[in-house]
């Protein structure tokens, strides 16, 4: 996901949250969660204190939890993008280090040649 796509999803999330109808908002949030790869369901079992199941699993999720999941997914995508750009910067720095070593070697050889030229005269 590119930074431009991430910003687009954040704008879409802001638009969805401004909708007055709660059911429409929840449906749109669920669709957005699917698009960004965030979870839109929750699975947990209702149990008694003894550990027995009380009923079927519940996957009801609140609007707040979906928004949180979407924001975490977008934050993760941002961190992945940052690490990719950091890795490319490390490659550039490594290349520049090698160039600097070659330049330092050339300067050393030039100084050595100048010293030899002075001694020969």
- CA 84, CA 53: separation in Å to the nearest integer? 45
Does any domain span residue 21?
Answer: yes
pLDDT digits (tens, 9 = 90+) for 40-79: 877 666 677 777 766 665 666 788 889 999 999 999 999 9
In degrees, rounded to 5, the angle at the alpha carbon of residue 89 between the alpha carbons of residues 84 and 90 is: 95
Does any domain span residue 98?
Answer: no
Does any domain span residue 104?
Answer: no
Q: How many domains does the chain have?
A: 1
This prediction has a pTM of 0.62
Residue 40 belongs to domain spanning: 3-86
Does any domain span residue 67?
Answer: yes
Does any domain span residue 79?
Answer: yes
- Which of the four pLDDT bands, split at 50, 70 and 90, describes residue 89? confident
Phi, psi of 37 (to 5 degrees): 85, 25
CA distances from 61 to 13, 41, 76 (A): 17, 6, 21
Q: With beta carbons less than 8 A apart as the criterion, state whether 67 and 13 touch.
A: yes
């Amino acid at each position: 996901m590119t930074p431009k796509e991430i910003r687009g999803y954040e704008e879409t999330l802001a638009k969805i949250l401004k909708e007055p109808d709660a059911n429409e908002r929840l449906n749109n949030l669920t669709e957005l969660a699917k698009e960004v790869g965030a979870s839109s369901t929750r699975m947990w079992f209702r149990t008694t204190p003894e550990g027995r199941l009380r009923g079927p699993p519940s996957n009801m999720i609140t609007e707040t939890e979906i928004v949180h999941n979407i924001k975490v997914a977008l934050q993760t995508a941002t961190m992945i993008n940052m690490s990719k750009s950091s890795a490319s910067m490390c490659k550039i720095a490594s290349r520049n280090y090698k160039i600097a070593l070659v330049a330092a070697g050339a300067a050393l050889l030039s100084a050595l040649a100048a010293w030899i030229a002075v001694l020969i005269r």
